[in-house]
Amino acid sequence: MKETAHGVEIIAECSGNPCIALRWVQTVKKRNAQSSSLLINSPKVFVDSGLTKFPFYNDFDQSQPKPDGEFNDVPCGPAPIKLGDGLEFKATLSLVVWTHPRVTIVMGWMYHFFIAPTGAIWWVKPRDAMPAEFVEQVSILKAGVGTAGQDTGKGLDYRLPPPLGSVNQ
């Protein structure tokens, strides 16, 4: 994760062989923003970039293996203004296994940044998501509301990470 002009860039990679069933999902909570950018006008809690009635991040051809297993996003706010409260952005990014209609979280990370009205950016180093954050992520996924208010798969069967060594059934 690194700072950009009005936000951060987050890059995550998974190692291993390409797999049609692996996907990235990202859920977001934000507050305190006033502007006209897409991020600002999005709901306060949403599935990021579920554009095809599925929650998967920027996944337009869902029949193809993901050769690089990379996730890249540059969430940002507008140029700051001296008035207002700035923008606070919290995201849970997870690698999931998709066996339609089941979406099972395998692992995930939480990251967080804040853009102050002065333009200063404060961010927390990404860390492993906690069980409560996975529960919250599943709740957001089940609500199925995307960045622009679109349906992102509220009818799918979302599952928390299974215990280590168990089988995804």
Residue 87 placed within a domain: yes
Q: What does the block give as tokens for 31?
A: 């507050």
Give the model's pLDDT for residue 98.
87
Rounded alpha-carbon distances, angstroms, from residue 69 to 14, 37, 118, 138: 5, 29, 36, 22
Residue 104 placed within a domain: yes
Residue 164 placed within a domain: no
Q: Give the confidence band of 67 by pLDDT, cuts at 50, 70, 90.
A: very low
35-44, 115-124, 138-147: the lowest-pLDDT one: 35-44
Question: What total number of domains does the chain contain?
Answer: 1
9/31: higher pLDDT: 9
Q: What does the block give as tokens for 66?
A: 């993901």
Residue 33 placed within a domain: yes
35-44, 46-55, 85-94, 123-132: the lowest-pLDDT one: 35-44
Residue 166 placed within a domain: no
Residue-number span of the structural domain to which 49 is assigned: 2-159
Residue 165 placed within a domain: no
30-39, 109-118, 142-151, 159-168: the lowest-pLDDT one: 30-39
